[in-house]
Structure 1
Amino acid sequence: MTDPAPPYLRIADELRRRIASGELSPGDRIPSARQITRDWGVAIATAIKALAALRQDGLTAVHPGIGTVVAGSPARRPAKSPQARDTADLTRDRVVRAAIAIADTEGMAEVSMRRVATALGVATMSLYRHVPSKDDLVLFMIDAALGEEPFPATRPDGWRARLELSTRLQWRLFRRHPWLAPVMSLTRPQPAPHALNHTEWALTAFDGTDLAPEERMYVHIMLFSYARGLATALEPEAEAERETGMTSDEWMESHEREFASLGGANAVASLLQTDFDFDLDKLFEFGLARLLDGLEVLRGTPQDKRFTPSSQ
């Protein structure tokens, strides 16, 4: 007799069986949506619904850069109630680190005082002795994330090498914490000490040149805006992976026919026939080099003796 259940439920049930039997253990990768379409012969939309059903049951979780994995059993979580947990060892740093961990794995939208308290196993009100408000928590998160990689004690020679170092450092931090770029404001910068360190580094990168203070600040804002702007794509991509169980490469593969049907004898269609790799790290390096090349044009003389902006 044919199973009347929809295909996505049959796939989800089979994966549930593998998890329950121990064939798939906590931390093991679940088949991707692309793999499910191949193994079960279903449409990509059906595969996505099956993965979504497992996530809704709390059986799986999406880890950026890894994929969908079997989640740990809820029974293994501490059973002690928040009210009963000793808060003597609770510190601001522990609160902030717990919030960062949630934002890294689940997205900034999931960060709340109650959610952080649950992760720490304490009562929500106990957090306010260390973090006055949600806004303060976000500020502390920004500062802690930016402070994870300090600047070297010895600066490299030349303004270009210094700016390359600082901008790449920002990109690494944005990459590590996809929520970081969207919460940092350009027009209303948060007073985070480690953010100030980045500004100070950029302004002093031009020591030994005649670039005016306001122009140094413009250069810093330009490079920060570039890295931050590109990095704002990271959190939506991480969220899309959590929602669909598909990486960006898998998503592109699943839409190959749609993109191909749009093309004609044009440059875009030709590009789609190549092995073009839309890699954000490559894009970042390409753009950073072009921005710094543009600043090179403004230099008055070699060896960083001068840096005379164009009068035009």
Structure 2
Amino acid sequence: MAAKSAQSAKSIPPYLRIAAAIRKRIADGELAPGDRVPSTRQIAREWQVALATATKVLTTLRQEGLVRAEPRVGTVVASRTPPASPAPAGSTAPAAPAREGELTRERIVRAAIELADREGLAALSMRGVAARLGVAVMSTYRHVGGKDDLILLMAEAALADTPLPAEAPAGCRARLETGARTLWAAHRAHPWLAHIGPLTRPIALPGMIAFSEWNLAALDGQGLDATTMFNLNVLLYSYVQGIAVHLERQAQAESVTGMTENEWLDSQAGALAALAATGRYPTFAKVLREFSETGYDLYLDELFEFGLGPLLDGLTALVGRRAALGSECGPDA
């Protein structure tokens, strides 16, 4: 009988056996809600399995609702929320709302922002927001027209959380720099903002127009035509959005793989070395060799800072060429 049980255990796929072991740690309290669970690399090392197998472990636990992805943290144990009591058999009434009398548009918007901040815009749904508030789904439609309307309300509220200064700094360049940093801060706090719409289809929101007004006012009176002024405004916005779009993608990638950026780069080391060894990319290989000694870390905040100065330098030169106002919008202005 013992031999048969051992043989039966061996027939269970490795990822299910590992998932069961982690599940037991959670049940025993060894891993509490909010604690980080082993990453794919840690699972691979501890149980001597491939990274693909380790990824299936975390995927299984996520599907069971035992763990969840925490942006910029990793995969953590999910909170133990008791399931809602089922409706009586044959009942057609919706689930009783917990605080129907207190439900407001503002509460719905804030709950949606919290959900999108944590899980990304793709995870947003009216049903998910209603569940977060403990109300019936249809109750939310009394205050918000639907998901598309909700996203616009979320964006406006998120932008209002990071307002532009009441007083603009002196000088064209300083004002543009302040606007870019403020917009970055808004996207940093709410990464999903970069995904609400493409650059070519601007959304008419007061909060978004406020940033355009800020930039255009800095460029106004410089002798530039309307097209040039607006192109420069779009260029600054696209710079912020272009980097910010990776904030949510980064969190999603870590959620799917269970690997941090460094762990993922480690897993790619062999493939990169093989490409460098072909001799077809000599400069790339040279840079990799230097990185082997100095290391390289790609942080989006640092990348934003690294690029903002050269962008403003180029913008300053362009304004100088177009309107002969380089001194007014120059580095020292």
TM, length-normalised to structure 2: 0.85
- Is residue 2:61 matched to residue 1:37? no
What is the correspondence of 1:266-305 to structure 2 with a 5 Å cutoff?
A: 266-273=282-289, 274=291, 275-298=295-318, 299=320, 300-301=324-325, 303-304=327-328
Structure number with bigger Rg? 2
Q: Which amino acid aligns with 1:304?
A: E
Q: Which residue of 2 aligns with 1:309?
A: none
Q: Per the alignment, do residues 98 and 291 of structure 1 end up closer, same or farther by CA in structure 2, a change over 3 Å counting? A: same
Structure 2 contact 41–259 (Cα < 8 Å) conserved:
yes
What SS is found at the alignment partner of 2:219? coil
User: How far did residue 301 of structure 1 move?
Assistant: 4.6
Paired residue for 1:175? 188
Partner of 2:90: none
Give 5+ residue unaligned stretches, structure 1: 307-312
Q: Offset at 1:175?
A: 2.4
For the pair 1:200 / 2:213, whether they are aligned, the reply is yes
Please name the residue that 1:135 is paired with. Answer: 148
Q: Which amino acid aligns with 1:281?
A: D
**2:194/2:241 contact within 8 Å kept:** yes
- Write the letter of the residue equivalent to 1:14: A
Listed as ranges, the matches of 1:95-244 within 5 Å are 95-207=108-220, 209-244=222-257
From 240, 260, 272, the equivalent of 1:259 is 272
Question: What percentage of residue pairs aligned between the two structures are identical?
Answer: 48
Q: Secondary structure at the match of 2:191?
A: coil
CA contact (8 A) 2:162 2:182 kept: yes
Residues 72 and 33 (structure 1 numbering): CA distance in 2 closer, same or farther, change over 3 Å? same
State the alpha-carbon separation in 2 of the partners of residues 255 and 6 from structure 1: 26
1:56 aligned residue: 63
Q: After superposition, what is the alpha-carbon deviation per residue over 1:218-246, rounded to whole angstroms, capped at 9, x for unaligned?
A: 11101101211222223222222221211
CA contact (8 A) 1:26 1:70 kept: yes
- Cα RMSD (Å) of the superposition? 2.3
Q: Contact 2:40/2:55 (CA < 8 Å) preserved in 1?
A: yes
Of residues 157-166 and 270-279 in structure 1, the stretch that sits farther from structure 2 once superposed is: 270-279
Q: 1:74 aligns with which of 71, 81, 84?
A: 81
CA contact (8 A) 1:208 1:304 kept: no
Cα offset, 1:94, TM superposition: 0.8
In structure 2, the CA distance between the partners of 1:86 and 1:281, relative to structure 1 (3 Å rule), is closer
Between structures 1 and 2, the one with greater helix share: 2
* C-alpha contact 1:203 1:213 (8 A) present in aligned 2: no
